Amino acid sequence: MRNKTWIGTAGVVLAIAAGLLLFPRNHGPGRTAEPPVPQSSPLAAARESHYKELTVRQDMEATERLGRMQSIRDARQFAIRVSRSQTASAKPDQALLGYLREHPELAGAAWIAGPGGKDRTAGTAVSGMQSSGDAHWKSARSAVLGGQSYSSPAFSVNGHAYFIIGEPSPARKGQGVIALVSASAVQEVERHQRRNLRLIPFPAEGRYRTESVLPNTTKDITVRKGEDNGNASHYSVDEVVVKFRKPLQPKELLRLRKDLDLTVVRQTRQTYVFRSRKHRAEPLMEYFKKFDPVYVEPHYLYLTNELDGETDPQPIVPNDTLYSRYQWNLPQIDTEQGWNVNRGSQVIVAVVDTGVQSDHPDLQGKLVPGVNIVDSSKPPEDDVGHGTHVAGIIAAQINNHEGVAGLTWYTKIMPVKALDSSGAGSTYSVAEGVIWAADHGANVINMSLGNYAQAQFLHDAIRYANNKGVLVVAASGNDNTDRPGYPAAYPEVVAVSATDPGGGKAEYSNFGDYIDVAAPGTSIASTYPGSRYASLSGTSMASPHVAALASLIRGANPQLSNAEVANVLRSTAVDLGDKGKDKYYGYGQIDIRNALRSVGGQASSLQMYPDQVRRELESIGIR
């Protein structure tokens, strides 16, 4: 996505990549002491950093290939369309303008009219190319005149990366289209992934007036390099979150404003976020303790963190352009066979993230109304990239000859923008997004974000959603640490670690006893803002695989409770690593076919039969 990653802080900032669980753990909110932080050797840290650098480079190269392959396909279709349309060929300027409007990644295009004809161009960037671009443009034109395709290497114009493609008309000799394509997504992915995989400190201190601290404390530490994030949390230095026993009266609020120079940043029932212009978080917390609150805590930040003996039918292989070459992840978890069992229904997955591009061509018809918590006056559009990438993993259209295939055929995405343009958001914003999603029809919530500090207000929101029957799934984080990350480690959440194409633990993935299941997370191709596609890595990419499977399970058997859906995810996973549950993969890597068979593709399955009988008996008063 632009994939903002997961960062811990002792104030509220949420980052991309977290995870959910449904049964109590020994590290829940009642814990009085944090587990020791594992000490890694300089050699291990260097090895991890090298692995992450290679992963970033791999994602950049894959993103460039994805964009090039899709652009060639689009140019070929445009050439065919113009060749078949007398109107379009008679009005090439109009046709070219339409082509540019449909594909915002294009900086310019031209229709080559053939020997003796007049070429028509559209787009302002074409005439300003430097000599390297001009040479490629001439080569593309010569290729089209000769009936050949052309694709240039990437080159730079005024500091921006481009490549040029040419596609001949299949019906009109010497005619065809040339396009100048922006490769900016590659640089965006590099910036995004270096933050997401914690190769650089993120967020930078000062963006939110934040401090880096030991989780669940206000003890200051300094984050100088990426690996320091594994034991850091961040919080707003001048804000606190207080949950009172009951809402404050107006006269009480007035006194607080006068005594402490406070403003109320947010309020939900009896929970308040206060900001002071003259007091820091620590003395504010001490002050509010005399009110005997339910809790008082820093305002943390969260950051962006994606066989039996039966004879199987033929796998369903989508015709999406980029599927066969780049989407290794879906076959690895037996998705193609799972679709023979069940393709889901219109279950709603809320993506609490950076927003989603509403007009991405591969997400058309897949979005339901959402909300922008960051700025309620605006729609939940994605200004980062992360949320759009997560949404595509779950629900990109399948068999539409376009881009990538999502994991589900009919699942709907509810975009909940709780993270801002930096890829970070406050505990309050994320919690508010969870509550909003639960109140507006979400069946599953994906949270590819996290922090190492426990925020009770966010936990309240997750419990609220869970009690309303909404399953929450979250990413574990990208610091290769066993420190519990939140919201993934809350007992109501399904926590997800990441695997690589070889089926092993992705080296960046967090781990620990709280992990429920694993899913593919490395070099995942998906939708990206600007109607583009990108390859990203992180537990942020693993989590939506699990959320998507949860939606398929919910679609196959809507009567299942949250605990039952979570149990299906765990009990049908393919065991990896040590036998049984382990700290790297939980119960194993999810398996689409196994899970959907267990809940019944058509009729009730034997595995779920006892639960169904129990529910039927309870419905007639027999327990």
* Residue 386 annotated as catalytic: yes
Q: How far is C-alpha 551 from the chain's CA centre?
A: 16
3-state SS class at 295: strand
Q: What stretches of 381-473 show up as alpha helix (H) in DSSP?
A: 386-395, 427-439, 456-467
* Residue 74 annotated as catalytic: no
| Token pair in block for residue 353 | 């993230």
The active-site residue, picked from 320, 334, 353, 420, is 353
Burial class (CB in 10 A: 0-12, 13-18, 19+), 525: buried
For 289-324, b where at least 16 C-beta lie within 10 A, e where not — what string?
Answer: eeeebebbbbbbbbbbbbeeeeeeeeebebebbbbe
CA-CA distance, 540 to 522, in Å (whole number)? 10
The 3-state secondary structure of 444-457 reads EEEEEEEECCCCHH
Burial class (CB in 10 A: 0-12, 13-18, 19+), 371: buried
CA-CA distance, 141 to 174, in Å (whole number)? 9
Q: Which residues contact 126 (CB under 8 A, 6 or more apart)?
A: 107, 108, 109, 110, 137, 180
The active-site residue, picked from 386, 389, 459, 545, is 386
Q: How far is CA 189 from CA 126, 258, 530, in A?
A: 25, 47, 13
* Residue 500 annotated as catalytic: no
CA-CA distance, 534 to 525, in Å (whole number)? 6
CA-CA distance, 498 to 514, in Å (whole number)? 14
Residue keyed to tokens 């006194």:
255
Contact of 405 with 330, CB cutoff 8 Å: yes
The active-site residue, picked from 233, 540, 543, 598, is 540
The catalytic site residues sit at 353, 386, 540
